[in-house]
């Protein structure tokens, strides 16, 4: 259940994984509206760096949208985005 609905309440995470938002401005606007972490304790930045196709523009947008401490936030596996 958790995997099938992984991004159900986390559209920024989903966009980060699938690189699917039509514009970066949409992604930046969405960041402030949704939870920073998903059920696995992962931020959209964790998701972006583990996506099948990493898009630098998505990662750059997320890095600009979040504050510096998010880089060191650990998920439930005790990993930061830099560990991936």
Residue 40 contacts residue 9 (beta carbons within 8 Å)? no
Alpha-carbon gap, residue 74 to 76, rounded angstroms:
7
End-to-end CA distance of the chain: 24
Mean pLDDT over all residues of the chain?
Answer: 83
Task: Tell whether the model's pLDDT for residue 1 goes beyond 50.
Answer: no
Please write the tens of the pLDDT for every residue from 10-31.
888 888 888 765 667 777 778 7
At 13 the pLDDT is 85
List of residues 6+ apart from 28 with CB closer than 8 A: 61, 64, 65
Using the structure block, give the residue that is written with the tokens 């699917």.
20
Alpha-carbon gap, residue 80 to 84, rounded angstroms:
7
Which is more confident, 75 or 61?
75
Please write the tens of the pLDDT for every residue from 67-80.
888 889 999 999 99
For the entire predicted model, the pTM comes to 0.78
């Amino acid at each position: 259940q958790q995997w099938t609905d992984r991004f159900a309440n986390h559209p920024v995470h989903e966009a980060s994984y699938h690189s699917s938002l039509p514009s970066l401005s949409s992604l930046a606007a969405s960041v402030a509206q949704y939870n920073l972490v998903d059920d696995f304790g992962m931020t959209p930045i964790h998701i972006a760096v583990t996506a099948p196709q990493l898009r630098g523009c998505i990662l750059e947008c997320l890095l600009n949208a979040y504050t510096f401490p998010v880089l060191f936030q650990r998920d439930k596996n005790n990993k930061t985005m830099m560990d991936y």
